[in-house]
Structure 1
Amino acid sequence: MPTLLVVDDEPSVCYSIARLFGDETTRVLSAGTVAEGVRVFEAEKPDVVVLDLLLPDGSGLQAFEAIRGVSPKQPVIFITAHGTATTAIEAMKRGAFDYLIKPLDFTRVANILRRAFEAAHLMRVPPVVHALEPREQLVGRTPVMQEVCKQIGRAAPQDVNVLIMGESGTGKELIARAVYHHSKRADRPFLAINCAALPEQLIESELFGHERGAFTGADRQRIGKFEQCQDGTIFLDEIGDMPMAAQAKVLRLLQDQTFERIGGRETIRTRVRVIAATNQDLGRRIATGHFRADLFYRLQGVTITLPALRDRADDIAELAHHFLFVFNRELGLNVQGFDPEALACLRAYRWPGNVRELQGVLKEALLRATGGLLLPEFLPPAVRGRADTGPAPAAEPGELNVPALIDELLARGENDLHAQVMRSVERVLFDRVLRATGGHLGRAAERLGLNRSTLRYKLRDTGLTTDKLSAD
């Protein structure tokens, strides 16, 4: 169970945060002094610490240094009563996760704590071939996946940049974390940024920080992720969607490890390793003027290309049994295995959404299942309708052969053909549009001519995940 430690001498703050996060999934501890906070931290090893700057027996910065001495990559969030507190800014420079200003905005508190718990998990749990935590397991025995594991082993100890290529849903974040956990920087912070999920006007501030007054709304200095993650590893997910202005600053950072905050003149030196990932064809992005060729070459210290699930079909059965175990445990179910025909359906389907889509389909099917076996009728029509058709003729990877699907449904005597065919078509349509818009729900809805709530409903109905969508 994740543990949160709140160190604040105001009981109302500890109480409010405990009410916000203290439930059956999170344990909340509290302390009121520097000495007590350090003692509880050393005894309990919490996942995240919330730390007041002003405590009765000293500065929160003293507690911060003691905590980071024990755990150098510990996510620590400061609380300050002053928006321009220089001590909080200094803590951010030394690697604090974020800071909050009193009176606390508990919507913001919840958001920052959620991100801090996620960061703590990413830094604590390595994805490996045989993991104690099933969700963190790299599954696959095919030659192409074994080669990926070898590439991770070769790249991780070398202090070079890594570029991970692959379609959406293939597991690029798992690979990035595996590289980090096997690297020389595994005892330092790991921060992940989804470049597609941040509005264009905010990504530079998130990465490089800004000075007070640098732009409208910049009411205080902000320390960016590159400065915050000193000696650590930055994971730039969906870097193909990064704006050109930010690309220029990232290029300079990769060249000489220096940058300036937005609106600042001070040159800041940093020592970070960059792991980047994209589902886009960067060669095409370069040709169309949307990505810098020199940045592409800088990122290519080592390139790891993840195969689509359709290109490692021999792993589908192992993946299916793996997720069966994971979801049985999460959902409190006891489905023992798969009907052979259901496995045949899973193998025959082309999986345009890759492993992420397989996860969604199996979770939905398990919730429908009755009895000890997962039967074909518990699978979505689009998946079970392709069991005997084999590879779609003359179709590009991830495309849907609509005439072949209709013929198959007719041959099987299926009813409700309109709903089944439309669901299959929408699955492919939504997947393509989401990939083209970088997972931005708003942009995708606009391109499709739908409102956001309708699109969310249809994504759930077609079995496509919405975990990494941006609402902006």
Structure 2
Amino acid sequence: MQRLLVIDDEASILKAFERAFTTKTTEVLSAKCAAEGEALFVQAQPDVVVLDLSLPDTNGLDLFKRLREIDPRVPFIFITGHGTVESAIEATKLGAYDYLFKPLELDEMRALLDKAFNLSRMVRVQPLLADEEGPMDGAVADAIVGRCHAMKEVYKAIGRVASQNLTVLLLGESGTGKEVVAQAIYHHSARSKGPFQAINCAAIPDALLESEIFGHEKGAFTDAHRQRIGKLEQADGGTLFLDEVGDMSPMTQAKLLRVLQDQTFERVGGNTPIQVDARIIAATNHDLKKLVSEGLFRSDLYFRLSVVTIHLPPLREREGDLKVLAEYFLRRYSKEFGKDVRTLAPETLEILDRYHWPGNVRELESVMKQSLLTARGNVLLPDFLPPLVAGDRNADSQSDASGFLSQQFVAERLEAGSDNLYAEAIAIAERQLITQVLAFTTGNQLKAATILGISRVTLRSKIKSLGIDVSQFT
């Protein structure tokens, strides 16, 4: 259960947050003043705090400073009127996650809270070397699971580099666990009490990525109505994780190189050098050496980033780990899905072994979740596997979405007490739709994005999250 603490003196705001964000997995706590909010912060240990800058008994910024001394890892989102813009910016400089102006937009707040909860999990919960045989439920931390030789080398590398103040480059295909390894390095480092910021460079348009990392000054571009503090500045004294760094534009690469050289940068539209002390952990699924040879990635930046390089093996090369990982995910999610599936039938393991796993561990996790939707008993049988993994690729790409979203499917999820049925159904439908469109365009992502009516960045993000192997269509 994740906890959201909202501190605001307006009763209507508190009620709106309770109605909009209270779910089976999220508890919303309310406080009308600073004293009440501070007491709840200590008692309930929330994962994210939404804080009004104008409170009846104290200034919100002063309260923020006190709460940061208690636990500096909690993301704070400020809500404020236009009269306190400077205070909001000052709060961001001091480590606040972000700020929004009243009146609040629900969709904008929901998106921001999703990111803040994810960051809170990464910062507050240390990834574990999982006990593959122990009990498990959906509330556990992210875990690094594996017994193969290649993964043992990864464990050793984490141990060697974590305590060193060195730049680290994580290489591996999508879904191999680069983010979890970055978390592990952070949590075992001397900077573990400092801030942790994460940016997915592939999920942010080029025009906005530079501002997201370095911030911008008021008037720097058309929509820059106020100064914004970037994630690099917020990570001062801590760690900045740059996922999919191979997707950076040349301009952003140049600015990042300067940071690695002398720990200084300038906000977009600014000319004042800003000193920062942040450790950089970068990750990519691209072959950076090839990008360097093609002139798409700076060679000097590559050498700066790869002071220490950790290679994460694809799932198909992790001999013996498939069964360990699959049973780990079954134990982890069985309670959430209202099932008691503990192991795989030998025939099921044979089918999983034959599959190529283009989406790696992330795809296996998704497959185990899908399998739990229809599973019965304590053993996962082949009949419970989704068609794509079971080898029926044509059926998967040509089938009707109504076949997946049958009355039986909905009834089973209702019986299991699902509180995320819409997202589960949409994920299944999205996978089918995107797979079929990519097959039609023979893997041309730009053409597929045009047909789907979404941006290429959005399509790439969905392909990654759904574990779709684009190479099968080319």
TM-score class, shorter: 0.7 to 0.9
Shift of 1:144: 0.9
Distance 2:154 2:302 in 1: 21
Change (3 A) 1:198 1:369: same
3-state SS of 1:277 partner: strand
Deviations 1:255-284 (A, max 9, x none): 111111111122111110110000000011
Deviations 1:85-144 (A, max 9, x none): 211111110100111111112221111111111111111111121367545111111111
The one-letter code matched in structure 2 to 1:45 is Q
The one-letter code matched in structure 2 to 1:332 is G
Aligned to 1:374: 380
Q: Is the 8 A contact 1:361 1:380 kept in 2?
A: yes
Deviations 1:398-428 (A, max 9, x none): xxxxxxxxxxxxxxxxxx89537979xx99x
Q: How does 1:58-137 map to 2 (within 5 A)?
A: 58-82=58-82, 85-130=85-130, 134=140, 136-137=142-143
Change (3 A) 1:357 1:56: same
**Does 1:279 find its partner at 2:285?**
yes
Deviations 1:156-185 (A, max 9, x none): 000111100001111111111111111111
Aligned to 2:40: 40
Q: Is the 8 A contact 1:234 1:275 kept in 2?
A: yes
Q: Is the 8 A contact 1:213 1:220 kept in 2?
A: yes
What CA RMSD, in Å, does the superposition of the two structures yield over aligned residues?
2.9
Distance 1:176 1:418 in 2: 37
Q: Is the 8 A contact 1:84 1:220 kept in 2?
A: no
Shift of 1:42: 1.5
Distance 2:274 2:323 in 1: 50
Report the identity percentage: 49
- What count of residue pairs does the alignment treat as equivalent? 422
3-state SS of 1:212 partner: coil
Q: Is the 8 A contact 1:129 1:139 kept in 2?
A: yes
Task: Tell me which of 325, 328, 333 is aligned to 1:322.
Answer: 328
Change (3 A) 1:62 1:467: farther
Shift of 1:448: 7.3
Change (3 A) 1:384 1:79: closer
Deviations 1:9-55 (A, max 9, x none): 11111111111112222111122222222122112211111111111
Aligned to 2:395: 419
Normalised TM-score (structure 1) = 0.83
Aligned to 2:416: none
Aligned to 1:263: 269
Distance 2:51 2:150 in 1: 46
Distance 2:201 2:332 in 1: 29
Task: Tell me which of 174, 188, 191 is aligned to 2:194.
Answer: 188
3-state SS of 2:169 partner: strand
| Gap regions ≥5 residues in structure 2 | 400-430, 469-474
**Does 1:444 find its partner at 2:450?**
no
Shift of 1:336: 3.4
Deviations 1:189-243 (A, max 9, x none): 1111000000110001100111111111111111101111211111100000011
Task: Tell me which of 292, 300, 304 is aligned to 1:294.
Answer: 300
Normalised TM-score (structure 2) = 0.83
Q: Is the 8 A contact 1:327 1:363 kept in 2?
A: yes
The one-letter code matched in structure 2 to 1:235 is F
The one-letter code matched in structure 2 to 1:170 is T
Change (3 A) 1:313 1:346: farther
